Structures are given as structure tokens and as C-alpha cells.
């Protein structure tokens, strides 16, 4: 079970959280301006990288707040957690 640092509550076990998929995918301000392919790309296409990945987590059994985490999908190490709206920290592959 992962140990996840909620930016609001601190270190908590994974069982308190719920994953929310890839982070930093802002909903388009006016979706009607997007063609079908662009909208499908926003809706369905995800990077699913092997390695460093920024993803959304919800502290559902805690403060109920969404935040973001940078996780290495190979080692499962969580390299950083930060609040929604904050920029993704500059973390390179393989460097914690």
C-alpha cells in the first residue's frame, strides 16, 4: 500500500485516497470550438508513461480535496505531491 502525502493533511495510507488519472489536462474553456478529433483527444487520450507521471489524487476519506502527485510508475515512488492549480514540479526521470 502506497504512502501518500496529502498536501493538506500529510502522510496517509493509500486506502484513504482515490486515483483520478492523468493531471494537468485542463478542460477547454469552450469545448464547442473543438472538432471531434480534438475533443476525443481531450476526453480519451492519455499518456500512460512508463516512468515519471503526474496524476490526480482525491483524499476521499480525509479532507476530500483533489491534489496532484508525481509518481514513478515503474518503482511506484511518489516523487512529489502538490495542490491543484500549482505547476508540475520539475522532476526528471530517475531523479527523485
Partner 1 sequence: MNAPKRLQPFRLQGEHRQPFRLSQGGLIDRGTPLSFTFNGERFTGYAGDTLASALLANGRVFVGRSFKYHRPRGVLAHGSEEPNALVTLMGAGARSDPNTRATVVELHEGLRATSQNHWPSLAFDVGAVNDVLSPLLPAGFYYKTFMWPPSFWRKVYEPAIRAAAGLGRAPDGPDPDRYQQRHAHCDVLIAGGGPAGLAAALAASAAGARVILADEQPAWGGSLLHDAAATIDGQPAAAWIAATLGMLRARQVTLLSRATVFGLFGHNHAGILERVPAVPGRDLPRERLWQVRAKEIVVAAGAHERPLVFADNDRPGILLADSARAYAVRYGVAPGRRVVVATCGDAAYAVASALAAAGVGVAALVDTRPAAQCPDASALRKRGMEVLTGHTITGSEGRERVTALLVASLIGGKAGAVRRLECDAVAMHGGWTPAVHLHSQARGKLRFDDALDAFVPAADPPGLRSAGAARGVYALAEGLADGWQAGGAAAGGTGTKTFAAPASATSFVPVRVLPTDRDPARVRAFVDFQNDVTARDIGLALREGFESVEHVKRYTTTGMATDQGKTSNMNALGLIATQLGRPVPAVGTTTFRMPYTPVSFGALIGAHRGALFDPVRKTPSHEWAAARGAPFEDVGQWKRVLAFPQPGESLHAAVHRECLAARAAGGVFDASTLGKIEVVGTDAREFLNRMYINSFDKLAVGRCRYGLMLREDGYVMDDGIVACLAEDRFHVTTTTGGAPRVLMQMEDYLQTEWPDLQVRLTSVTEHYAVMAVQGPHARALVAPLIGGIDLADAAMPHMSVSTGRVADIPCRLFRVSFTGEAGYEINVPWGYGAALWALLVGRGAALGLIPYGTDAMHVLRAERGYIIVGQETDGTVAPDDVGLTGMIGKGKRDFVGKRSLGRPDLLAAGRKQLVGLLTEDPALVLEEGAQLVADPNQPVPMTMLGHVTSSYASATCGRSIALALAKDGRARLGATLHATTPTGFTPVKVVAPVFFDPEGKRVHG
Would you tell me which residues interact with partner 1 (CB under 8 A)?
1-3, 13-14, 18, 20, 26-27, 30-32, 34, 36, 39-40, 43, 56, 58, 60, 64-66, 75-78, 84-85
Which stretches does DSSP call E strand in the chain?
Answer: 3-6, 10-13, 18-22, 52-58, 66-72, 78-83
Minimum distance between the CB of residue 59 and partner 1, rounded to whole angstroms?
11
Contact 91, 82 (CB under 8 A): no
> From the CB of 10, what's the least distance to partner 1, in Å?
14
Q: Which is nearer to partner 1, 2 or 91 (CB)?
A: 2
Amino acid at each position: 500500500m502506497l504512502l501518500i502525502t496529502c498536501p493538506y493533511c500529510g502522510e496517509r495510507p493509500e486506502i484513504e485516497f482515490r486515483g483520478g488519472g492523468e493531471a494537468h489536462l485542463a478542460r477547454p474553456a469552450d469545448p464547442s470550438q473543438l472538432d471531434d478529433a480534438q475533443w476525443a483527444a481531450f476526453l480519451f487520450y492519455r499518456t500512460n508513461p512508463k516512468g515519471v507521471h503526474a496524476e490526480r489524487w482525491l483524499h476521499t476519506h480525509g479532507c476530500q480535496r483533489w491534489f496532484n502527485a508525481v509518481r514513478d510508475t515503474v518503482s511506484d515512488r511518489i516523487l512529489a505531491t502538490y495542490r491543484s492549480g500549482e505547476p508540475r514540479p520539475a522532476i526528471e526521470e530517475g531523479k527523485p
